[in-house]
A = this chain, B = another copy of it.
Amino acid sequence: MSTIVQKFGGTSVGSTERMKLIANRIVEEKKKGHDIVVVVSAMGKTTDTLVQLAREISSNPSKREMDMLLSTGEQVSISLLTMALQEQGVEAISFTGRQAGIQTDSILGNAQIQSVDTSRIRNELDKGRIVVVAGFQGETSDGDISTLGRGGSDTTATVLAAKLKADRCDIYTDVNGVYTSDPRFVHKASKIASLSYEDMLSLATMGAGVLHPRAIKYAKEHQIKLFIKSSFEKGMGTLVSVEKQSHSEIYVIGVAFKENIARISISEFEDGDSLQAKLMLELASRHIQADIYKQYFNNVLTVLIKEKDLQDVLSILHKEKNNLTYRNLEYENGLAKVSVVGRNITSHPGIKEKVCKVLLKNKVKVKLVGESSISVTAVVEKSEVYIAAERLHAGFGLDFIVTEQVHV
């Protein structure tokens, strides 16, 4: 009998009505004769509500207590979804991360799974039960509840799929697959029927929010077939798996973007390399994500961060001014990053120029252009990001892609 892991995100279990719909889908799959393990996130805005409660009490709550608090969100989901399954007449049982045998390291708030003892899950599957596991959480060797950080439920699902030697891992979400760009804003974006782990990772890294990079990396390592599907619509979704030969020629996969970006430009410094290195360390130690670009021609270091981190980064820069040896900085927010994502981008020197040309032709103001092996990224005004994405999508021939069908 084959095992399938199904993961449902917060929107999919956002209300008791939705839980009942989800329960139908799970039972359908169960009736095909599979062993089913379901991984769920917290309901809708539960996590935000809990974070808000903590903020009312402390501006800097301890990580252990935050994990104690946030892990309740998934615990509510698993119990309710299991009730919905039982209501359909199937046998089901819920497990917290700990009960599912998930042991993590002790980096509370951002823990990594270290081992999984699947014996309790396997035991319940053998009894014919659907096992519903709380995503995003585990237990440390000290017996503390830990959470896995952003995208944690995706990680729980892929790790369980690997440990249970599952046939596949279905990631149910509020979109019906992976697209060449975000179809809510880029209307000619088309669904990608199948893509490689590497390409999925590139899209996710540059802003496609459908799947967390950490989960993709894990799936790749263990060659877990991932299907991205809609919780609410029927349809094939997108298969993420080992690369097929036929895909190797395409070098642009899609256009991704991230909004609410702020820029800080630092100038008049003594040693740019040392400044960059020190700043990267400072930010990493505070878990602040940043892209740092050095423009040699005018001796400016540009830091791109999320708007919400702007005040923190400015105060770090202010405090460390002497240590970082710079004299001037200026900043702005209300920006966005739009990226043409592909493979071996730096070995196709035409791409960067084409990005600039397309945006220039469409009168999109470009603040900065950077490139990496997987993307060319332009920083633009937030108000122009959708038009920029749409034009780049057309400009790189993505409007006309016909996707192949994959059958499960």
Closest-CB distance, A224 to chain B (whole angstroms): 27
- A57 near B69 with CB under 8 A, answer no
A195 within 8 A of B: no
Given A86-B62, A99-B143; A53-B80 close (CB under 8 Å): yes
Known pairs A57-B19, A83-B54; A94 contacts B76 (CB<8 A):
no
Task: Count identical subunits in the complex.
Answer: 2
Q: A93 an interface residue at 8 Å Cβ cutoff? A: yes
Q: Are A58 and B84 in contact (CB under 8 A)?
A: yes
User: Which residue of B17, B20, B79 is within 8 Å of A65 (Cβ)?
Assistant: B79
Query: Is A50 located at the chain interface by the 8 A CB criterion?
Result: yes
Known: A68-B75, A68-B94, A76-B50. A56 touches B143 (CB 8 A): no
Please name all residues of chain B whose beta carbon is closer than 8 Å to the beta carbon of A255 when the two chains form the complex.
none
> Does A90 touch B at the CB level, under 8 Å?
no
The CA of A82 and the CA of B16, in the complex, are separated in Å by 31
Tell me the complex Cα distance, A16–B55, Å: 10
Any B CB within 8 A of the CB of A276: no
CB atoms of A58 and B79 under 8 A apart = no
Taking CB as reference atom, which chain B residue is nearest A99? Answer: B143
Check if A265 is an interface residue, CB within 8 A of chain B.
Answer: no
Tell me whether A264 is interfacial, beta carbon within 8 Å: no
Are A20 and B86 interface neighbours, CB within 8 A? no
A: number of interface residues (CB 8 Å): 37
Q: A37 to chain B: closest CB distance in Å? A: 17
A64 within 8 A of B: yes
Known: A16-B57, A20-B57, A57-B19. A76 touches B69 (CB 8 A): yes
What residues of chain B lie closer than 8 Å to A82, measured between beta carbons? 62, 65, 68
The complex places the Cα of A261 from the Cα of B82 at a distance, in Å, of 35
Closest chain-B Cβ to A148's Cβ sits at a distance in Å of 17
Q: Does A394 lie at the interface of the complex (its beta carbon under 8 Å from any beta carbon of B)?
A: no
Min CB–CB distance A15 → chain B (angstroms): 9
List chain B residues, Cβ under 8 A from A144: 99
Within the complex, what minimum Cβ distance (angstroms) separates A106 from chain B?
14
Whether, in the assembled complex, A72 has its beta carbon less than 8 Å from a beta carbon of chain B, the answer is yes
Q: Is the CB of B83 within 8 A of A16?
A: no
A61, CB-defined interface residue at 8 Å: yes
Residue of B nearest to A86 (CB): B62
* A144 CA to B80 CA, complexed, in Å: 16
- Least Cβ distance of A47 to chain B in Å? 12
Partner of A58, one of B50, B56, B87: B87
Q: Tell me the smallest distance from the CB of A212 to a CB of chain B, in Å.
A: 24
Q: Which residues of B contact A78 (CB under 8 A)?
A: 68
Q: Give Cα A203 to B50, complex, Å.
A: 39
- Closest Cβ of chain B to A39, distance in Å, is 16
Query: Which residues of A (41-58) have their CB < 8 Å from a CB of B?
Result: 50, 53-54, 56-58
Please list the 8 inter-chain residue pairs (A to B) with the smallest Cβ-Cβ separation, ordered nearest first. A69-B79, A72-B72, A68-B79, A16-B56, A65-B79, A61-B83, A58-B87, A57-B83
A-side interface residues toward B, CB under 8 Å?
16-17, 19-20, 50, 53-54, 56-58, 61-62, 64-66, 68-69, 71-72, 75-76, 78-80, 82-84, 86-87, 93-94, 96, 99, 120, 143-145
Q: Please name 17 further chain A to chain B contacts, defined as beta carbons within 8 Å, in addition to the given A57-B80, A65-B80, sorted by A numbering.
A: A16-B53, A16-B57, A17-B56, A20-B57, A53-B76, A54-B79, A57-B84, A57-B87, A62-B86, A65-B82, A68-B78, A68-B94, A68-B96, A69-B79, A71-B75, A96-B145, A120-B143
